[in-house]
Amino acid sequence: KVVAVIMVGGPTKGTRFRPLSFNTPKPLFPLAGQPMVHHPISACKRIPNLAQIFLIGFYEEREFALYVSSISNELKLPVRYLKEDKPHGSAGGLYYFRDMIMEDSPSHIFLLNCDVCCNFPLTDMLEAHKRSGGMGTMLVIKVSAESAHQFGELVADPITKELLHYTEKPETFVSDLINCGVYVFTPDIFTAIHDVFTHREDRANIRRVSSFEALQAATRALPVDFVRLDQDILSPLAGKKQLYTYETTDFWEQIKTPGMSLKCSALYLAQFKMNSPHLLARGDGIMNASVTGDVFIHPSAKVHPTAKIGPNVSISANVRVGAGVRLISCIILDDVEIKENAVVINSIVGWKSSLGKWSRVQASALLQINICQSTLRIL
């Protein structure tokens, strides 16, 4: 059996995603009309012999309760939210719930960051991982040398694909091959995390007896149970024949800012063409609005037949779109009203906003996204 764990973080993480994360936890923000975390969950569902999916975070349970119960019913697969009492880091959080994760005695554990957008080639990763005979395999991708420093940079053996060297967000360039935040491990990962605790405790004890200043330094250090997967596990285990890489040449993006959510929404809409074409709106649908390119329209939204929508548009629940409205590359969140002849381009229109007749909300490029949060009226 196999289980999957998705790290969703908590309210003190994802600050670059504000103001969108003030109203809704970032993992539940809609991309292509589905909560961000829904995309990795659907990918996990395709893994053979998957027993359970766990979401681990430090958001309040009630924020995820509705979503996990509806997705469990929809996929006919247990999806559980496990709440940490405080942040334990990306590996510490996994370790904290080891007993529950090991309930079904899985042979392999997938671990996914919730804020990455890709096609999650999980089954292929598992096959490659089994061939390697190591403890873990991570998804990696080549990016431009200029952008690599925002991620974990690594060197892999070109033949065996073993991870030879790993540095998290280095200041000087190491490699354009980076960590995508998607992994598969054997249960030995728990021993590796436990070893980090033991090593830290030993060091703290040595310092404690050696000098008062060292004791102060030890108390300033990270809590013993806070373990980061990248710095504390991947870096020290590189080059020890335990970790391997699986390179993807398909799309991959990190979702840290509102601007990125628009780009990722487009990528997932394009993927729906292959995986879930029923989710895409068609111009000849019930509403008869003119639709171009990839568009998602929630069934409860009311779109006037003379509106022109697309490409890359995602319209959430209870939205009303008036006559002659033009929407291009945008995310329209729940309960928004867009009145006659308004135009929205490269923008996110926030929950319950109202755009007046003939109003225009437009950014010239994805990086300059407008986030419209209130009422915009042109009299």
Rounded Cα gap, residues 106 and 5, in angstroms: 12
- Per-residue x/- track, 70-89, ligand GDD (CB under 6 A): --------------x--xxx
Rounded Cα gap, residues 360 and 377, in angstroms: 10
Between 166 and 296, CB nearer to ligand GDD: 166
From 30, 33, 40, 93, residue interacting with ligand GDD (rule: CB under 6 A): 93
Rounded Cα gap, residues 320 and 332, in angstroms: 10
Query: 118 phi and psi, to 5 degrees?
Result: -160, -175
From 34, 42, 52, 90, residue interacting with ligand GDD (rule: CB under 6 A): 90
Binding flag, residue 7, ligand GDD (CB under 6 A): yes
Stretch that binds ligand GDD, among 179-187, 199-207, 240-248, 261-269 (CB under 6 A): 179-187
Stretch that binds ligand GDD, among 107-115, 122-130, 186-194, 208-216 (CB under 6 A): 107-115
Between 104 and 168, CB nearer to ligand GDD: 168
Site for ligand GDD in 119-178 (CB under 6 A): 151-152, 168, 178
Rounded Cα gap, residues 341 and 308, in angstroms: 10
Between 168 and 340, CB nearer to ligand GDD: 168
Binding flag, residue 29, ligand GDD (CB under 6 A): no
From 42, 179, 341, 347, residue interacting with ligand GDD (rule: CB under 6 A): 179
| 190, amino acid identity | F
27 prior amide bond cis, ω within 30: no
Site for ligand GDD in 180-239 (CB under 6 A): 180-181, 228, 230
Between 180 and 319, CB nearer to ligand GDD: 180
Site for ligand GDD in 238-277 (CB under 6 A): 254
Give min distance, CB of 152 to ligand GDD, in A: 2
Long-range (24+ apart) CB contacts under 8 A made by 43-47 are: 43/119, 43/120, 43/122, 44/4, 44/6, 44/110, 44/112, 44/120, 44/122, 45/75, 45/77, 46/122, 46/123, 47/2, 47/4, 47/110, 47/122, 47/123, 47/126
Binding flag, residue 42, ligand GDD (CB under 6 A): no
Between 252 and 272, CB nearer to ligand GDD: 252
Two tokens, residue 167: 């540095």
In this structure, what DSSP letter does residue 249 have? Answer: -
Stretch that binds ligand GDD, among 8-16, 187-195, 199-207, 320-328 (CB under 6 A): 8-16
Give min distance, CB of 358 to ligand GDD, in A: 41
Rounded Cα gap, residues 349 and 100, in angstroms: 40
Between 88 and 161, CB nearer to ligand GDD: 88
Instruction: Say if residues 332 and 344 touch (Cβ distance below 8 Å).
Output: yes
Rounded Cα gap, residues 241 and 142, in angstroms: 22
Compute how many residues bind ligand GDD; rule: CB under 6 A. 27
CB atoms within 10 A of CB 6: 21
Rounded Cα gap, residues 68 and 325, in angstroms: 35
Q: Which residues bind ligand GDD (CB under 6 A)?
A: 7-9, 13, 56-58, 84, 87-90, 93, 113-116, 151-152, 168, 178-181, 228, 230, 254
